[in-house]
Structure formats: C-alpha cells, structure tokens
Structure 1
C-alpha cells in the first residue's frame, strides 16, 4: 500500500543522517512560514534549510546541524492515484497499518490523515533515544507528510516546537 512505501522512504531518509559533535545552538522562539505544493506550516528558525536535489520541489528538509536528520523536519508531497475522497475510515486503516509496522508507536486518525508518535533507539543511528512525530495529511489527490525528529540530547531545544509545527499544517485552499 502507499502508506508502507511512504513510511519506508521516510525511514530511509532518517537513517541516512548522522549525529555530529556540534556545539549546542541557542534556542530561538521565532518561526518562519513555509509552503510546499500548497501545504503550509510553520518551521522554527533554529532549524536551517538543507538544499535537496529535488528539481520538482516535492520535498523539504530543515536540520539543527548540517545534514543530521536525527534533529530535523522533513516533509514531502506525493500525488495519490484515484479519484476517491479520503475519509476517516481511510485514516483509521492507514493508522492501523502504521501501528502494525511500529507497535510501540501511538497515533490518531483524523478525517484528513494520521498523526503518529514514536520514540526509541535506532541502532543504525547510535545509542541515543530519538523522538519522531509524523503527520500525514491528504487534500484532494495530494498526500503531505511531515516528520519531526529530535534526539534525547536536543529534547530541551526542540520538543517545545513539535506541537506548534504539527498544529500549524494547513492544506491548500
């Protein structure tokens, strides 16, 4: 199903990052408004944009340290096939599939998508606990995915931004 492919792609993106020994940045409270293919959200200015080789502008990445995706916001927009309207039942099915894939995660289904939260150690990325919040939002035939990751060592800096970012997501008008 499309959800499994999407989750696998996002996990691969997350796993490709590496933790660097970089001085801790000073927390900032400012946000910037970001738009991707009509979807908009706020992004803390403490996270800096990373240039992606994405000619069609279907993805964005903002990181705390260079290319370290363990402390980042990654988002993408994908075209969905079919003309069926997305429903709460679709969201519940997608959430059930994600929870089978990530049994230690928690989630919620919405009429326009899914919210999933997970934390744990990823051996590929080290021994540090990583917190992940993922919001999937469907509007028309577009699927917007935003993944906010942060490590235990950056929890104080980044955790306060998760809910404002997730709650700010708006579909195209």
Structure 2
C-alpha cells in the first residue's frame, strides 16, 4: 500500500518521521513523503536541526486517493505550519472523506483539528493539545495509542516518541485491515 507521510517543509520531529517510515517499509508498504512545497524537508531533533529528506509529492498536486493511508508525524512546528496551509488541510480532510485510515502522533492532531475531523472522536496526543482537542469536539485520553474506529475510517493517535513502538504496531495493523477490505 502507498502511504502518504505529510510534513511541512520544516519542523517535523525526525524520529516521528523515520521510525514509522521504516516500519512501513519493513511491512512491505511504500511510504511517500508529501509536503506543501517541492524540494527538501528539514527535520528536527526537538529544537535542533537534524537531517533533510527529499519531497516526493506536493499536497495540492497529488490526490489523496492515490494513497491507501496517511501518517502525520509530529514536532511542534510541523503541524502548526500544516494547519495554516489550505492544501495540506484539504489533503488530510480528503482521507476522512474517502474513508481511508489516518495515523497521527504528538502535536499532529492540530492538523486534524483544522481539518474539522475531530468532533465525536476519541484521541490522544502530546498533553498540551488536550484542551484544543476538547474545544474541537473530541475526547482526549492519556494513553500510548488510541484507535478510534468511527464511520468508514479509522484514526490512530499516539502521544510522543516514547510511544512509537505501540504507534507502529497499531497503525500497521489498522492499515493492513484497510488494505484487506
């Protein structure tokens, strides 16, 4: 399955991109780096610049239906930039409209809030987002991973890098279910 990994041009938390990416590769999926601009994505280790990664597709130029699922890595700056980009928000919303599974970690639910897909859902995130999630109509829980199966699609959320093992296992299981359906 082709899996879109959506990031802003700068600010993605490197381990939240590379760890799920490698898990997708190891499981036989094809991860694709999608950003709001062509070129390179600058990753960070918290506040320090880390590696760069080549952008393969640009949000707004590639349709969501060319992917089977979406992963939204975190980092504070990454989802903050994505939620301000109408193409990125529309790209995320399209996965929900099309009933495709979405996985988001750490601060990534900010983009989900902007896309208007949080109402009625139970999710987790970095703790500082709990009020934002509640104000957007969602229910926030403090768990390693939360799987919310609502309607035709599934949302998998996780809190932080320490939860990556649980996050990987959950999204790979749910993505495989979607691929088999």
TM-score normalised to structure 2 length: 0.32
TM-score normalised to structure 1 length: 0.33
Higher helix share: 2
Q: Which structure exhibits the higher relative contact order, with contacts defined as CA atoms closer than 8 Å and separated by 6 or more residues?
A: 1
